[in-house]
Amino acid sequence: MRYGNGMSEIYVLAAHPDWRASRVNRQLLSAARHAGVTVTDLYSQYPDFFIDVAAEQARLAAAKLIVLLHPIHWYSMPPLQKLWLDEVLTYGWAYGAATADHPSHGRALAGKDLWLVASTGGSEQAYHPQGYNRYFFDAFLPPYEQTAALCGMRFLPPLILHGAHAHSAEDIADHVKVFADRLAAYPDWPELEELEQCPACEVPMNARPEEKHEKRET
């Protein structure tokens, strides 16, 4: 669904430092664009790493489902995706503590859904206590889960493709179809009925450093 402002209720944030080397994420990005949802390719949109915070917050405000689409880099997200989180999810807008005077303080994302769609170079077997990554993949998800929780969003079950380099073209096509079908079906996913809404974590003002405003001489 698209609104009158041209934005969709689904916002896909795609982050890949080298699309030419991508076997999976590039096809997922194409599928998202063909699905008619709002899509931002972060590395193409912000090659200088200067993020338009107001524009990004407007896209987030219009969306009901926020999709983080990227390969896993060093057990986390690519650097520009992390910078996007740092700059766009600001205190008092994305998270904070509501007050009687400001009941919407830090509630801009409350009630929305966050979905991680990612690929790994290592196989599923590599993410095992006996594998070279030493932990199950779920052990690397808490930063994503807590980001969602801090903002009052539900963290949906991720869509992960392990061993991206080793899959056949047919396997990747099947994976892309699952992704496209899920976008088309949202919010009518059977498992969503079993997932409770996540109340935002209160972050009081005194837990934040004081903002210092430099006084300019005229």
**Average pLDDT of span 36-54:** 96
Cα angle, residue 120 at apex, residues 126 and 45 outer, rounded to 5°: 160
Question: 38-41: which pairs have CB atoms within 8 A and are 24 or more residues apart?
Answer: 38/7, 38/8, 38/10, 38/11, 38/12, 38/62, 38/63, 39/11, 39/12, 39/14, 40/11, 40/12, 40/13, 40/14, 41/14
Provide the token pair at 216.
Answer: 């300019």
Domain 10-207 has CATH 3.30.70.980: no
Domain boundaries, the chain: 10-207
Q: Where are the alpha helices (DSSP H) in 46-167?
A: 53-62, 79-88, 142-150
pLDDT tens digits, 50-105:
999 999 999 999 999 999 999 999 999 999 999 999 999 999 999 987 766 666 67
Residue 61: half-sphere exposure toward Cβ, Cα within 13 Å: 13
Model pTM score: 0.88
Instruction: List Cα–Cα distances, 36 to 26, 59, 184, in angstroms.
Output: 16, 14, 9
Flag whether pLDDT at 181 surpasses 90: yes
Give the per-residue pLDDT at 216.
42
Residue 111: φ, ψ to 5°: 90, -5
Closest-CA residue to 75 (of 159, 142, 21): 142
- pLDDT over 70 (residue 179): yes
